[in-house]
Amino acid sequence: MAAEDLLPGTLDLLILQTLSLGPQHGLGISRRIEQITGGTFKVMPGSLFPALHRMEEQGWLAAEWGESEANRKAKYYRITRSGSRRLGKERDRWDKVALAIRSALEAR
Amino acid sequence: MLRGLFRNLFRRGRVENDLDHELRAFTDMLADEKAQSGMSRKDAEREARIELGGIEQVKDQVRASRTGAWLDTFGADLRYALRMLQRNPGFAAIVVITLALGIGANTALFSVVNALLLRALPYKDADRLVYVTEFWPHEPYNPGPPSPDFTNWLAHAQLAEQMEAYGGGANVTLTSGGEAERIVGTMVTAGLLNMLGVQPALGRNFEPEEDRPGAPPVVILGYRIWQRRFGGSSDVIGKQIALDGHGSIVVGVLPAAFEFPDNNFGHELLLPMGLNAGLGWRERNFRLLRIIMRLKPGVTREALHSELLDLLRRTASEEPPQFVTMRKDLEVRVVPLRDWLTGGVSQSVLVLQGAVAMVLLIGCLNVANLQIARGMARRREMALRTALGAGRARITRQLLTESLLLSMLGGTTGLALGYGALNLIRSFLPTSLHLADTIRIDPWVLAFTLAIAIASGVVTGLAPVLATMRTRLDEALKEGSSRTTEPGGHHRLHRALVIAEVAIAMVLLAGSGLLIRSFVRMASLDPGFDADSVLTLRIALPERKYPTDQSRAAFYSQLLERAAIPGVQGAAIGGGLPLIGTRTLTGTYFEGRPAPPPGGRPTVPLAGISSGYFATLKIPLLRGRAFTEADREDAHPVVIVNRAFADQFFPGQDALGKKITFCCENDLNEIVGIAGNVRQAGLRTAAAPTLYAPYRRLPESEMLLVLRSSLPRAALSSAASRVIRAIDPDVPVYDVATMRDRLAEALSTQRANVALMGVLAALALLLAAIGIFGVIAYMVSRRSPEIGIRMALGAQRSDVLRMVLGQGMILAFAGIVIGLGGALAATRALRTLLFEISPRDPLTLAASVLLFAGVAAAACYVPARRAIRVDPMATLRHE
């Protein structure tokens, strides 16, 4: 499933969740999301980078240049305090939505 | 957020650099990953690039997600647009000039429309002020309601909150503070200024007790006269000034910005009317008034109209019998004050506004056509941009930014042009026109200019957008050269625009043709006199000093004796003058005919004239004789009539020797001469029956001195003034003008209409010709290979010429036919501006069609010549 098919706001949630585990560069974030969703979501660069830059501007993420494992210079993103708060809110919201959808689907 | 915006806008270089590095690193790492899984380095890098999906597209998406992205894109579009214009300055200049002319003309005209028809009048609750007149359905001349009607309405009308009156006849000679000067005074009722919401700049308004018959005379000075004669000094209040030789106390000074709500009355001097409220129909000396009323809130004009008419009908029984027939079919008209003030010009102004709007529209269509042609040339550029990831919306925005940039440049230039044109337009308007001083560029006009500039930008920008939308990306890119034949869609658009242009221009051409013919008709009209080298001066004898007919006649005869200065070939005195009419109207009665019913006596203009009057003005004397010095007050009474009089009252008979009475006298006057008709009441009105009497029997207090002389005007007028001052220094001389001036003045409105419409029609014709030229030249350049092949296959040059001309003329004729239909519908709006010509005048329409066809043929001929010069050999080699 491509990122465009996600519910609105879900990509933000996945990125924040990924970065809450530690700083990561763009490719790393993309691979990580693929991995934690069991390959369900494949985030394309065309959606990933606009989202990263937007979230950085909003102050949820901070970025700095660092060295990758293969000695390549890469831009590492990490979650800020306001990003963590945001993650909490997004999580709550998601839980509510998920619960609502589930009960809607199970209602007879 | 704000930091982000700041960074995006001002640290763009670093941000962009950063993004570039980031994406490159991403691709490299992706390639590393793929290489590790066993791909060759080269394949891995290629795969990585494919997976990224185009580095520039990703960058664009990132940019679009940034704060202030729209501003950013706008900036980029604007820079790009500027670059495109720099690359093509000729195109930019043509577009800007075309739009500037159209927008400038619209700005100037709209500031007139705004001042005259839209902006609130400078009076309190002006939307409830109405102007009230009486009129006869069969007679255009309306004399103004007589004062008994006014007092009747004042006493009984319930629907008017307030009604006030004013009137003329208050022209006075001011002798304080300088030379004797004739001043246009206006009599007003005490409450008029209050009703208008006008407070004097100095002093106070009139009090009700000052507005009664016999009250001590008081006066309110106009601002300009206060400045000119009294140096703007504030101690003029309470002072006595000499008007017509007697003292009046100044009680107030009008504010500088005050405009009297009537084009025919000045605000140099206001006097209380002193109307006798008890004055009824039985008294003879009632006045004719001008009346302004304010409606009560919520009352319609129609309601007030029926109330006033009802009151008018009810007084019929009280009126003396001689008025009954005259008044029984009298009607009342209640018009908004604004209509009364602008009625004379609002039609022309609106017609002109329509015309300038059409010119702008033609200009826009032309620019749109240019844009389409240019859009075709830019198809590859657009296709390339699309291939590189620009969306349709993005390209539309780019094209609109370009055309809006052009239209804004055009708008700014147009605003400057419009500002410059304001003075020109003011000089065309009648000098007495109300509110003419308030014509200026105000925020509303600016908003209008901005709006039409934006509209022009959108209209001209959408055309190439529509044209490029039809382009198929792959075809545009495949095209090796631009010579291949193109999809037909934009050709249709191209042609439709040219046809529309021609049609609109045709409407303008026909309209201005009608105005020109009217003007020529009016200007070549025989006014009945010779206007060359005749100077006229108006003289007013102060009532006090010249109370009797004898004293006035003595003054005039002395003047005539002394006016024969060297260089003057003829001198005369007249109580009236061609073009400006007479001051007196009189009832007439014919000897040997039954007495007319009450109110049934024909009323004709009457002028007292001296013996040289006809000779000086070169008005032909058709039969009989002119007056002589022997025709005195005590002699055998004689009159001269004009031809219209003889034809109307003595049809098929000889008027000469017949006897008539006029005015109130009972002695019979013998008709001793029949003079030629002159256009007495302006050029538009045919000569009415007119009576002339010897001036000694009718020495009016205001008369005109008429001098025929080849002396220079200034020398003649100062010599004449010296003569008059030598007889009596207290007699003012004013309204000095040659008969040529007066003729020009009578033609001025027509001339203004013709000049402005002519310029606009010429502009429209030129623009339409450019449009035809453009589309045909474009067609020829596109089809030159085809033409070459045709010629190689044996087509003659004449065939090619016929083909190209035919293509152009089909467009032109389609436009002309549609335009002719439009003209027949639209010229109806011109009817009131025309003079003795039908709005469907076939000659004018035919001439317009021929002119247009000629211009269109010329516009096609130039590109057609280029087409026949196509060298078939060159074409074949090329193919």
Confidence of residue A46 (pLDDT cuts 50, 70, 90): confident
Residues 65-124 of B with CB under 8 A from A: 65-67
pLDDT value of residue B481: 46
Tell me the residue range of the domain where A64 lies: 3-106
What is the domain-level CATH number for residue A83?
1.10.10.10
Q: How far apart are CA B22 and CA B613, in angstroms?
A: 101
Q: How far apart are CA B281 and CA B318, in angstroms?
A: 7
pLDDT value of residue B283: 53
Positive or negative, the Cα torsion across B695, B696, B701, B704?
positive
Q: How far apart are CA B400 and CA A23, in angstroms?
A: 44
pLDDT value of residue B138: 56
Question: Count of A–B CB contacts within 8 Å?
Answer: 64
Taking only the tens place, the pLDDT of each residue in B363-378 is 999 898 888 887 777 7
Q: How far apart are CA B246 and CA B384, in angstroms?
A: 91
Q: Residues B289-297: what's their mean pLDDT?
A: 92
Residue B703 pairs in a beta bridge with B539
Q: Could you give the number of structural domains in chain A?
A: 1
Q: Residues B582-608: what's their mean pLDDT?
A: 75
ipTM, two decimals: 0.85
Q: Does the structure show a pLDDT above 90 at B839? A: no
Tell me the two tokens of residue B227: 């400045």
Q: Does the structure show a pLDDT above 70 at A5? A: no
Q: Does the structure show a pLDDT above 90 at B306? A: yes
**A35 CB within 8 Å of a chain B CB:** no
For residue A50, the chain B residue with the least C-alpha distance is B62
Residue among B276, B180, B270, B812 at smallest CA distance from B544 = B180
Q: Does the structure show a pLDDT above 60 at B564? A: yes
Q: Where are the alpha helices (DSSP H) in B793-841?
A: 797-826
The more confident residue out of B717 and B466 is B717
Confidence of residue B67 (pLDDT cuts 50, 70, 90): low
Nearest to B29 among A50, A54, A68 (CB): A68
Confidence of residue B347 (pLDDT cuts 50, 70, 90): confident
Mean pLDDT of all residues in chain B?
A: 84
Mean pLDDT of all residues in chain A?
A: 84
For residue B64, the chain A residue with the least C-alpha distance is A50
Q: Residues B152-163: what's their mean pLDDT?
A: 91
Q: How far apart are CA B120 and CA B127, in angstroms?
A: 8
pLDDT value of residue B322: 55
Contact B616, B631 (CB under 8 A): no
Q: Residues A6-16: what's their mean pLDDT?
A: 78
Tell me the angle at which helices B797-826 and B489-523 cross, rounded to the nearest 10 degrees. Answer: 60
Contact B58 A70 (CB under 8 A): no
Contact B53 A57 (CB under 8 A): no
pLDDT value of residue B643: 93
**Residue B281 to residues B5, B151, B286, B317, B786: CA-CA distances in angstroms?**
83, 11, 8, 11, 91
Q: How far apart are CA B575 and CA B639, in angstroms?
A: 14
**A53 CB within 8 Å of a chain B CB:** yes
Q: Does the structure show a pLDDT above 60 at B130? A: yes
Q: Does the structure show a pLDDT above 60 at B152? A: yes
For residue B15, the chain A residue with the least C-alpha distance is A53
Contacts of A51 in chain B (CB under 8 A): 65
Contacts of A26 in chain B (CB under 8 A): 22, 25-26
**B309 CB within 8 Å of a chain A CB:** no
Question: Distance (Å) from the C-alpha of residue A27 to the closest C-alpha of chain B?
Answer: 6
Contacts of B67 in chain A (CB under 8 A): 57
Taking only the tens place, the pLDDT of each residue in B628-681 is 888 876 778 899 999 999 998 899 888 898 888 876 556 788 999 999 999 877
Contact A50 B64 (CB under 8 A): yes
Contact A53 B57 (CB under 8 A): no
CA B397-B403-B406 angle, to 5 degrees, is 140
**B247 CB within 8 Å of a chain A CB:** no
Q: Which residues are within 8 A (CB) of B825 and not within 5 positions of it... i.e. 6 or more apart?
A: none
The domain segmentation of chain B, as residue ranges, is 2-67, 137-329, 345-524+746-878, 546-727
Contacts of B49 in chain A (CB under 8 A): none
Nearest to A45 among B18, B21, B53 (CB): B53
For residue A67, the chain B residue with the least C-alpha distance is B25
Nearest to B53 among A46, A68, A73 (CB): A46
Of B178-182, B266-270, B553-557, where does the model show the most confidence? B553-557
Q: How many CA atoms lie within 13 A of B605 on its CB side?
A: 24
* 3-class state of residue B239 by DSSP: coil
Q: How far apart are CA B392 and CA B398, in angstroms?
A: 10
**B22 CB within 8 Å of a chain A CB:** yes
Q: Write the DSSP assignment of B708-764 as a string of letters.
A: EE-S-HHHHHHHHHHHHHHH-TTS-EEEEEEHHHHHHHHHHHHHHHHHHHHHHHHHH
**A50 CB within 8 Å of a chain B CB:** yes
pLDDT value of residue B506: 92
Question: Distance (Å) from the C-alpha of residue B60 to the closest C-alpha of chain A?
Answer: 9
Residues 43-62 of B with CB under 8 A from A: 51-53, 57-58, 61-62
pLDDT value of residue B482: 46
pLDDT value of residue B477: 61
Taking only the tens place, the pLDDT of each residue in B427-472 is 777 766 777 778 889 999 999 999 999 999 998 888 777 766 665 5
Contact A50 B57 (CB under 8 A): no
Question: Distance (Å) from the C-alpha of residue B17 to the closest C-alpha of chain A?
Answer: 12
Residues 14-33 of A with CB under 8 A from B: 25-27
For residue B3, the chain A residue with the least C-alpha distance is A57
User: Which one of A4, A11, A27, A47 would you mutate to disrupt binding with B, by most B Cβ within 10 Å of its Cβ?
Assistant: A27
Positive or negative, the Cα torsion across B818, B819, B821, B825?
positive
pLDDT value of residue B484: 44
Question: Distance (Å) from the C-alpha of residue B400 to the closest C-alpha of chain A?
Answer: 26
Contact B640, B690 (CB under 8 A): no
**B36 CB within 8 Å of a chain A CB:** no
B187, with CB counted inside 10 A (0-12, 13-18, 19+), is: buried
Q: Residues B484-490: what's their mean pLDDT?
A: 51
The more confident residue out of B366 and B88 is B366
Contact A74 B25 (CB under 8 A): yes
Question: Distance (Å) from the C-alpha of residue B1 to the closest C-alpha of chain A?
Answer: 6
pLDDT value of residue A26: 87
**Pairing relationship of beta strands B733-738 and B568-574 according to DSSP bridges:** unpaired
B548 sits in which H/E element:
none
Which residue type, as a one-letter code, is found at position B298? Answer: G
The more confident residue out of B189 and B288 is B189
Q: How far apart are CA B734 and CA B301, in angstroms?
A: 40
Q: Residues B524-546: what's their mean pLDDT?
A: 86
Tell me the two tokens of residue B471: 């382009």
Confidence of residue B615 (pLDDT cuts 50, 70, 90): very high
Q: How many CA atoms lie within 13 A of B542 on its CB side?
A: 19
Contacts of A54 in chain B (CB under 8 A): 65-66
pLDDT value of residue B313: 84
**A2 CB within 8 Å of a chain B CB:** no
For residue A29, the chain B residue with the least C-alpha distance is B26
Q: Does the structure show a pLDDT above 90 at B286? A: no
Contact A49 B25 (CB under 8 A): no
Q: Residues B131-156: what's their mean pLDDT?
A: 77
Q: How far apart are CA B101 and CA B414, in angstroms?
A: 6
Q: Residues A52-60: what's their mean pLDDT?
A: 87
Contact B572, B579 (CB under 8 A): no
Taking only the tens place, the pLDDT of each residue in B318-333 is 666 555 555 667 788 9
**B715 CB within 8 Å of a chain A CB:** no
Nearest to B29 among A50, A54, A72 (CB): A72
